[in-house]
Amino acid sequence: MWRLLLVTGLRRGELAGMKWEDFDSATGTVRVVRQRVVEGDDSVVREKRPKSPNSVRTIMIDKVRAEILGWMRPAGGSA
Q: How far is CA 18 from CA 32, 41, 42, 78, in A?
A: 7, 25, 23, 11
Enumerate the domain spans of the chain: 2-72
The answer, yes or no, to whether residue 25 has pLDDT greater than 70, is yes
For residue 47, name the pLDDT band (cuts at 50, 70, 90): very high
Dist. CA 46–CA 73, nearest whole Å? 24
Q: What is the pLDDT of residue 2?
A: 81
Dist. CA 53–CA 10, nearest whole Å? 15
